[in-house]
Structure 1
């Protein structure tokens, strides 16, 4: 994963996962500028501005160039609408990655993120040959855990009062899937 490598495009039944572009900035702002999105994430502020979107694009492009991150925009196949983002932060030393994602509120509950996670797990294990992919959610957002479970991810820990957000300590619930576990569920 370097600037020399072509950025992958992943397709599912209803989605296209591809490289976020500067032309996506207005859509990124429109979807991310939501207090509910900020409430369930650690790194998306509210209000969310154009400068925030440009900084995010710069960060994920740098991660791609360094081989430490691959982040996709999530778009619908039917109208190519930007609906969110999903990606992997890769730890080469330990051959694992942290899965992260967010989805615009108008698209919650339609199974889109479940579908996108499936594509990312396939990519991470079969293209990047990762040993393990892990993800977490903050207490108060159990729907995020449900989409992980729908993809076979296994709850492995609750980190009590692990993060501080808006002056309040919150617990983190962590999930995992190893390559061996992944292969056993896709038979």
Structure 2
């Protein structure tokens, strides 16, 4: 793999770009504070301007220090509506895909379009071998995104997520290999 970090990616409707320090307000307003977005996740939401600022500043710092850092703001109609990233980048040429989108923009194909752009970059430009992703077992929308992207169901991670309330939830695990992506 040749790590290239987060580069601007363009699709028909989207611009996926590195975060800028001033983006924190849009992150907060458009998806950070959105209760629907946080329904199936375990991490603490960006439910305050300060948490949103910390998230954006962390990414901005990582862009300059870590070529293995892959994190994009999803820009649709000149607004940041979500984010997408590859994290847990490992020495075996694999990484974990994660994404978040404000509920106002659900069911428009935005995440599917963003996932395909990121997978294309990861496999064709960077040289990843495997990309995997997981979602709460009840998150039908996220499962559909992974399936549309050509990812295969690998199994259930029992109690794979500790929720914000301290309970546990099962996760469904999906993945795609570079050679499978090329055949799509």
**TM-score above 0.5:** yes
Distance 1:167 1:44, change over 3 A: closer
Which residue of 1 is the match for residue 43 of structure 2? 43
Which residue of 1 is the match for residue 129 of structure 2? 131
Please say if residues 37 and 44 of structure 1, whose CA atoms lie closer than 8 Å, have aligned partners that are also in contact. no
Please say if residues 67 and 90 of structure 1, whose CA atoms lie closer than 8 Å, have aligned partners that are also in contact. no
1:35 is displaced (CA, Å) by 1.6
Which residue of 2 is the match for residue 21 of structure 1? 20
Alignment partners' CA distance in 2, 1:184 and 1:157: 23
What do the CA deviations read for 1:77-131 (whole angstroms, capped 9, x no partner)?
Answer: xx31111000111524111111010000100011100000000000000111000
- Taking the TM superposition and a 5 Å limit, the aligned residue runs for 1:66-105 are 66-76=66-76, 79-105=77-103
Three-state SS of the structure 1 residue aligned to 2:133 is: strand
Unaligned runs of 5+ in 1: none
Of the two structures, which has the highest relative contact order with CA contacts closer than 8 Å and spacing of 6 or more? 2
Three-state SS of the structure 1 residue aligned to 2:142 is: helix
1:59 is displaced (CA, Å) by 2.6
Distance 1:63 1:90, change over 3 A: farther
Which ranges of 4 or more aligned residues in structure 1 deviate by more than 6 Å?
none
Alignment partners' CA distance in 2, 1:6 and 1:67: 4
Alignment partners' CA distance in 1, 2:56 and 2:138: 28
1:6 is displaced (CA, Å) by 7.8
Q: Which moved more, 1:66-75 or 1:54-63?
A: 54-63
Alignment partners' CA distance in 2, 1:104 and 1:83: 6
1:137 is displaced (CA, Å) by 0.3
- RMSD, aligned CA: 1.9
Q: Which moved more, 1:159-168 or 1:118-127?
A: 159-168
Q: Which moved more, 1:125-134 or 1:5-14?
A: 5-14
Three-state SS of the structure 2 residue aligned to 1:110 is: coil
Distance 1:96 1:6, change over 3 A: closer
Please say if residues 63 and 69 of structure 1, whose CA atoms lie closer than 8 Å, have aligned partners that are also in contact. yes
Three-state SS of the structure 2 residue aligned to 1:43 is: coil
Three-state SS of the structure 1 residue aligned to 2:36 is: helix
Residue-pair matches, total: 180
